[in-house]
Structure 1
Amino acid sequence: MELVRRRVATRALAPGEKLPSIRGLAASMGVSPSTVVEAYDRLAAEGLIRSRPGSGFTVVGSLPLALAEVAPPVDRAVDPFWVSRQSLDGGPDMLRPGCGWLPAAWMPHATLRRAVRTLAKADDALLTDYGATRGSLALRGFLARQFAGEGLEVGAEQILLTASGTQAVDLIGRLLLQPGDTVLLDDPCYFNFQALLRAHRVKIVSVPMTPTGPDMALFAQALAVHRPRLYITNAAIHNPTGATLSPQAAHRVLTLAAAHDVTIVEDDIFAEFEPEPSPRLAVLDGLARVIRIGSFSKTLSASVRCGYIAARADWIEALIDLQVATNFGGPSPIASEIVFRAMTDGNFRKHLGALRTRLAKKRREVSGMLEALGIRPWLEPRGGFYLWCCLPDGCDAAKLAQAALREKVVLAPGNVFSIAQTAGNWMRFNVAQMSDPDLPAILRRALKSAAD
């Protein structure tokens, strides 16, 4: 196949020209005719050559010129989409301390490969059919058992699998929000909450985050003044701050939400990174007015996309209809099967334990490195891979991110997480993405450039 591609690319074989016969090429290369047949069939499937009955194989056309991926503009506005696009579209030589996922080398490859191999023995329907509207019963049953271990009694029928955690938020927004409604977010918060809510054309109001939860006085004031429809938050290892909700704050949030008829969406995506479970709004509330969402992208694979929603039965029924309308069925049955097989693999729990230990060590190491540069972590998180840091006095995080990008380093400046735009000298660092030995020197140069 490479021989034919090379000859076409160098114009040794012109469009319309006949390829060597199967037997002739097999003899000249010292391979079996069946090997040449398979190579020609694959090239025909790619569209490079064509089979003409009675005439052998001919070249369809020349290979297109190799084009580099188009990178996002460096000088575009530093907003919630800036970090996402730079992180997702950057080349393999890009360092990503600002991205929101673990390095590929840290993920459970062996577990995933075993799960993928099981697909070879799966029923034909799993490989070809649409997914059931609620998603895989096996995976939903697994999640229900996990939730029961936390004290959240919920049946599999109250769990809806989605294409991703982002789609889970989108579906909830479609169900519960109308343009012009108000949604309450933490400040700072996960930047894609903002991007998605703006697509729903709602008003966003924020409340400052503290190390133990939202500022309760301002939270109560925001509910009374703005009367939001939803409050969206992370309870376990808050993104980006790493804060953990205290029992007192959890109780107060639920009490105020009930008094003001606010529905809470609790994103549980970082729960597996905690050494011990912290208070969960969904558990304390029993899914009366709290909706739990999550996905497996942080601990298992961001490539095998699958999320979930756990909520009241009537809401799940309405969400199913919305998912059918927007996705025609549940998430990919193949993705759901891979997730189920991987999550129930005995080695996955061992992987998580080792990952928590590795991250704890890395957080300490990166904290020391950053402090030596004058960058101070806000708090020491109980788990996870983020450090929310204050930059040296007078340093603008957006300028620092732009300076670092010129040296192929993607950073996540504070104001992309802040609705109120009060985090101009803050930065979120992903400690797992900070192993390159050149990074301290790059950050030092970028700090100097941002201060000039």
Structure 2
Amino acid sequence: MGEIHQRIAARQLLTGAKLPSIRAFAQALGVSKSTVVEAYDRLAAEGVISSRRGSGFYVAAPAPPLTLGSIGPRLDRELDPLWVARQALDSDDTLLKPGCGWLPAAWMPHENMRRALRAVSRAEPAALADYDTPLGFAPLRTLLARRLQESAIPAAPEQILLTDCGTHALDLMCRFLLEPGDTVLVDDPCYFNFHALLRAHHAKAVGIPYTPSGPDVEQFSRALAEHRPRLYLTNSALHNPTGAVLSPLAAHRVLKLAEEYDLTIIEDDIFADFETEPTPRLAAFDGLGRVVHVGSFSKTLSAAARCGYIAARPDWIEALADLKTATTFGGNRLAAELVCRMLTDGSYRRHVDGLRLRLAHAMGPVVDKLGALGIRPWLLPRAGMFLWCRLPPGVDAADLSRLALERGIVLAPGNVFSLSRSAGAFLRFNIAQSGDPRLFSVLAELLAP
């Protein structure tokens, strides 16, 4: 009964769908046929399913409201990726958040933002009250086109669609390209919200092991041949959670395979401005042919002023603008004008330069303090905020995270990032959120023999 309820909640069985035969379901679950008969009888009594003489059993009840936590293997709620995000977002300032994915508020350019807000507040009334155009604030799209061209990504302003954030951009692309049941390749490990987003779109995610130079190309090739996926969702630079960067060789091989199998790639590049030296972008090699480039300013400027973008092939932009209008109607013009002003007055460039330096200075001490506890980085990233770390032998990241939570610390255990759940010995640390000595004293206590 629980299995059928879960399949209905996960939209794997819709109203009118035929249930497995009693014999097939008994074999699949390893139970007797009489057990399945009783379960089906009880479900029919509840009105969840109905029987049709000579045909079988069918879903009768409408699906309940979508609950993402019920889709896929049930995790302990403390380790559910959505719970990790909710706990970090809902908590007060007394909770330490080395597992979260954003910078401390104190690191953001408050005074520069206040100046920009005052300037935007003096704009003409239409800027403060009207809906934005479907593509979004034109001056910001022009600036973004220039920034992308500096990275060898050939995007004209007309190829750029502003969104409310990076997640909104990814959601629009999934709405645009996916049908329920489509397969999507993701890195293993990858940003945990990719998993949740694909669940929401009823897509099948297939994980590809990630190496220090990019996805395992041999396994990538085998997955393409076996699953014929619609999309590949990835970070090219400063990969989340590992901090790795894509090598030119891996990029060329991935693009060649994508062409062979007619695969679309969505390149989430929200950490681009943390880089001190440019690294390869799939969109630059591909020219926005089958690669869609996504970015935002939530990580570097403000998570409160939500502003992201999609850069894509010209013939897709108009349809994406229609989809954006259908789902949000108008974009966030105030946020777009705020970001545009900070990009043009030079304050954003100075702020990002300072962030890179500050993160570089924070990296070494955090690595040393973790190393003293036997926690070692999988690799030393060139830049950015994340350390993907292996725990001492025999320590389970899930157990450690539960105990740390009881002491007021939110950690990010490896298996929330891993579709195969093969990262049980890893934690992701945000070095910008790992400066409080309490973190290391609690970890030392919990790791003590």
What's the CA shift string for 1:138-165, capped at 9, x where partnerless? 1100000111112222211100001111
Show the counterpart of 2:49: none
CA distance in 2, matches of 1:346, 1:174: 36
Alignment of 1:195-344 (within 5 A): 195-329=196-330, 331-344=331-344
SS at 1:302 equivalent: coil
Structure 1 residue 411 corresponds to structure 2 residue 378: no
Show the counterpart of 2:96: 95
Show the counterpart of 2:366: 366
* Bigger-Rg structure (1/2): 1
Show the counterpart of 2:394: 394
* Deviation for aligned residue 1:120: 2.4
* Deviation for aligned residue 1:77: 4.2
SS at 1:265 equivalent: strand
CA contact (8 A) 1:111 1:345 kept: no
Letter of the structure 1 residue corresponding to residue 201 of structure 2: H
SS at 1:326 equivalent: helix
Structure 1 residue 350 corresponds to structure 2 residue 345: no
Show the counterpart of 1:112: 113
What's the CA shift string for 1:383-403, capped at 9, x where partnerless? 100000001111111111111
SS at 1:370 equivalent: helix
* Deviation for aligned residue 1:445: 2.1
Structure 1 residue 130 corresponds to structure 2 residue 131: yes
Structure 1: state its 5+ residue gaps: 1-74
Alignment of 1:10-25 (within 5 A): none
* Deviation for aligned residue 1:442: 1.1
CA distance in 2, matches of 1:172, 1:134: 15
SS at 1:184 equivalent: strand
Identity of aligned residues (%): 59
CA distance in 1, matches of 2:446, 2:323: 46
Letter of the structure 2 residue corresponding to residue 358 of structure 1: R
Letter of the structure 1 residue corresponding to residue 258 of structure 2: A
CA distance in 1, matches of 2:296, 2:447: 35
CA contact (8 A) 1:273 1:356 kept: yes
What's the CA shift string for 1:218-256, capped at 9, x where partnerless? 111111111110000000100000001001001011001
Show the counterpart of 1:431: 431
CA distance in 1, matches of 2:236, 2:281: 6
Give the CA RMSD over aligned residues: 1.3
What's the CA shift string for 1:54-101, capped at 9, x where partnerless? xxxxxxxxxxxxxxxxxxxxx734111121011101111111000000
CA distance in 1, matches of 2:447, 2:202: 37
CA distance in 1, matches of 2:186, 2:197: 12
* Deviation for aligned residue 1:437: 1.9
Letter of the structure 2 residue corresponding to residue 309 of structure 1: I
CA contact (8 A) 1:212 1:243 kept: yes
CA contact (8 A) 2:78 2:84 kept: no
Letter of the structure 2 residue corresponding to residue 431 of structure 1: I
Q: TM-score, normalised by structure 1?
A: 0.81
Letter of the structure 2 residue corresponding to residue 385 of structure 1: M
Structure 1 residue 376 corresponds to structure 2 residue 376: yes
Show the counterpart of 1:422: 422
What's the CA shift string for 1:324-379, capped at 9, x where partnerless? 110012x2111111111112221321221121111111111100000101101000
* Deviation for aligned residue 1:435: 1.4
Letter of the structure 2 residue corresponding to residue 274 of structure 1: E
CA distance in 1, matches of 2:115, 2:404: 39
* Deviation for aligned residue 1:130: 1.1
Letter of the structure 1 residue corresponding to residue 385 of structure 2: F
CA distance in 1, matches of 2:154, 2:217: 28
CA distance in 2, matches of 1:151, 1:280: 8
CA contact (8 A) 1:291 1:309 kept: yes
* Deviation for aligned residue 1:446: 2.9
SS at 2:208 equivalent: strand
Show the counterpart of 1:15: none
SS at 2:94 equivalent: coil
SS at 1:91 equivalent: coil
CA distance in 2, matches of 1:169, 1:366: 32
CA contact (8 A) 1:264 1:289 kept: yes
CA distance in 1, matches of 2:121, 2:181: 49
CA contact (8 A) 1:377 1:388 kept: yes
CA distance in 2, matches of 1:315, 1:402: 45
CA distance in 2, matches of 1:112, 1:146: 21
Aligned residues: 375
Show the counterpart of 1:192: 193
* Deviation for aligned residue 1:263: 0.1
Q: TM-score, normalised by structure 2?
A: 0.82
What's the CA shift string for 1:195-239, capped at 9, x where partnerless? 011000011001000000001111111111111100000001000
Show the counterpart of 1:148: 149
SS at 2:298 equivalent: coil
CA contact (8 A) 1:412 1:429 kept: yes
CA distance in 2, matches of 1:157, 1:447: 54
Letter of the structure 1 residue corresponding to residue 146 of structure 2: R
CA contact (8 A) 2:78 2:402 kept: no
CA distance in 2, matches of 1:365, 1:343: 32
SS at 2:437 equivalent: coil
Structure 2: state its 5+ residue gaps: 1-75
Show the counterpart of 1:170: 171
What's the CA shift string for 1:395-444, capped at 9, x where partnerless? 11111111111111110000000000000110000000011122211112
CA contact (8 A) 1:188 1:209 kept: yes
CA distance in 2, matches of 1:435, 1:375: 16
Show the counterpart of 1:441: 441
CA contact (8 A) 2:288 2:312 kept: yes
Letter of the structure 1 residue corresponding to residue 352 of structure 2: L
Show the counterpart of 1:76: 77
CA contact (8 A) 2:154 2:288 kept: no
